[in-house]
């Protein structure tokens, strides 16, 4: 069935519909990774977006539910150059087409994704609408969509109740970690467990006092969708967590929330960073780390108070801030995804750092804790 993706800019691209035969729209972004489409489809950070895959061919290894990052398919739609109707992997349970149909998510194939990606790079991430009708009508529907920053996507993807992660850590004396779930990926939880953490996942609406209640030894701020500037209630929660001095680690949206809690700003990037091969420089070591990224917003370096926090990582593509740490040494965050899934594992040491922060805090006496917290403000 012939269908179109119409952008609010007025550009229209034709293709063939597969997946669910439905009309839909959302913010159009492109992803440059060559593999990992299943992880991208099930990453809550993509909620409400139309994802254009720049890889020329998708679907050949099918879908295995055990590799899902969350139970649901989150993008509003996907767009590909070509997709494989048959699967060629022994673990495959469903084809790409089948899983999209079951989830009610439409897709377009046979699209000139190179031209579409160039269009997004020229105009920036924009709203788009997929359908089979008159292209002019589809353009009007794209322009009528609510901007993604005006929707509270976190409330749509967060947990509904406190849930212990079902995998127990290998350590006989695990660290107790509370995860503030803004759309957390399963691979992040698995990585925390691998570092000896017992994990409890809390809804994003959880008050700071509940997150800090015993037996919590550290708090993790998760990835998630949407505009951090629209999540002031979460920023207020993070501000309390920072003041409490609990070891704190944030990724992606969690990084942005920590930055805003420290008084920094966030801005929207022209077309975001979405891929599995983004080079980042560790400021302290000079080491270049290849990272997996998925974000539309960033923290301007000049908005960070150097007395409060320092920049720890920089993008080598555009110089944007990719990590920060508080001056007190109790909280840090990165914009990229050190757990990968999909992507390289150059930055797994960041999870080890979180573990060691909690270990160090265990070794401090209550009096030392009070003195250190008073000294750092």
Token pair for 4? 């179109």
Is 339 marked active-site?
yes
Give the per-residue pLDDT at 99.
97
Residue linked to tokens 């698995």: 190
Inform me whether the pLDDT recorded for 283 exceeds 60: yes
Give the per-residue pLDDT at 121.
95
Boundary (domain end) residue, out of 128, 145, 162: 145
Domain count, the chain: 2
55 and 74 part of one domain: yes
141 and 179 part of one domain: no
Catalytic one among 31, 273, 278, 337?
A: 337
125 and 199 part of one domain: no
Catalytic one among 39, 195, 252, 255?
A: 252
Please indicate whether residue 85 or residue 228 has the higher confidence score (pLDDT): 228
Distance of alpha carbon 85 from alpha carbon 325, whole angstroms: 46
Average model confidence (pLDDT) across the chain: 94
284 and 158 part of one domain: yes
Give the per-residue pLDDT at 86.
87
Q: Give residue-wise pLDDT tens across range 294-307.
A: 999 999 999 999 99
Boundary (domain end) residue, out of 145, 172, 204: 145
104 and 177 part of one domain: no
With beta carbons less than 8 A apart as the criterion, state whether 77 and 106 touch.
Answer: yes
In 159-201, where does DSSP find H-type helix?
186-194
User: Residue 160's domain is classified under what CATH number?
Assistant: 3.40.50.880
Catalytic one among 8, 217, 289, 339?
A: 339
Q: How confident is the model at residue 366 (pLDDT cuts 50, 70, 90)?
A: very low
Domain of residue 335, residue span: 154-376
80 and 169 part of one domain: no
284 and 234 part of one domain: yes
With beta carbons less than 8 A apart as the criterion, state whether 310 and 284 touch.
Answer: no
User: Residue 59's domain is classified under what CATH number?
Assistant: 3.50.30.20
With beta carbons less than 8 A apart as the criterion, state whether 359 and 175 touch.
Answer: yes
220 and 300 part of one domain: yes
Is 252 marked active-site?
yes
Distance of alpha carbon 270 from alpha carbon 90, whole angstroms: 40
125 and 173 part of one domain: no
Inform me whether the pLDDT recorded for 167 exceeds 90: yes
User: Which residue(s) pair with 175 in the sheet?
Assistant: 197
């Amino acid at each position: 069935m012939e269908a179109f993706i119409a952008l609010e800019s007025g550009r229209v691209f034709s293709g063939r519909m597969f997946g669910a035969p439905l009309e839909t729209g959302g913010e159009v972004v492109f992803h440059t990774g060559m593999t990992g489409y299943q992880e991208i489809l099930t990453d809550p950070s993509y909620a409400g977006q139309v994802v254009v895959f720049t890889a020329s061919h998708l679907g050949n290894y099918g879908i295995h539910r055990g590799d899902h990052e969350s139970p649901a398919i989150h993008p509003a739609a996907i767009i590909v150059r070509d997709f494989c109707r048959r699967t060629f992997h022994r673990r495959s349970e469903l084809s790409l087409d089948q899983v999209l149909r079951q989830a009610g998510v439409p897709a377009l194939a046979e699209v000139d994704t190179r031209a579409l990606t160039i269009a997004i790079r020229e105009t920036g991430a924009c709203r788009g609408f997929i359908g089979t009708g008159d292209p002019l009508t589809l353009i009007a529907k794209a322009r009528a969509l609510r901007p993604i920053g005006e929707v509270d996507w976190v409330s749509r993807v967060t947990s509904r109740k406190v849930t212990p992660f079902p995998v127990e850590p290998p350590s006989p004396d695990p660290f107790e970690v509370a995860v503030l779930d803004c759309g957390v990926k399963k691979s992040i939880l698995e990585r925390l467990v691998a570092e000896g953490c017992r994990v409890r996942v809390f809804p994003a609406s959880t008050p700071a006092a509940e997150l800090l209640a015993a037996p919590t030894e550290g708090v993790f701020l998760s990835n998630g969708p949407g505009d951090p500037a629209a999540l002031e209630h979460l920023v207020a929660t993070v501000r309390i967590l920072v003041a409490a001095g609990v070891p704190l680690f944030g990724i992606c949206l969690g990084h942005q929330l920590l930055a805003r809690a420290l008084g920094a700003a966030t801005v929207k990037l022209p077309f975001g960073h979405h891929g599995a091969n983004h080079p980042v420089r560790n400021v302290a070591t000079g080491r270049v780390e290849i990272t997996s990224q998925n974000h539309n917003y960033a923290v301007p370096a000049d908005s960070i108070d150097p007395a409060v926090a320092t920049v720890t990582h920089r993008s080598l593509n555009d110089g944007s801030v990719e990590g920060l740490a508080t001056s007190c040494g109790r909280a840090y965050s990165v914009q990229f995804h050190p757990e990968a899934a999909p992507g390289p594992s150059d930055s797994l040491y960041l999870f080890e750092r979180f573990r060691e922060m909690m270990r160090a805090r265990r070794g401090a006496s209550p009096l030392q804790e009070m003195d250190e917290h008073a000294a750092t403000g």
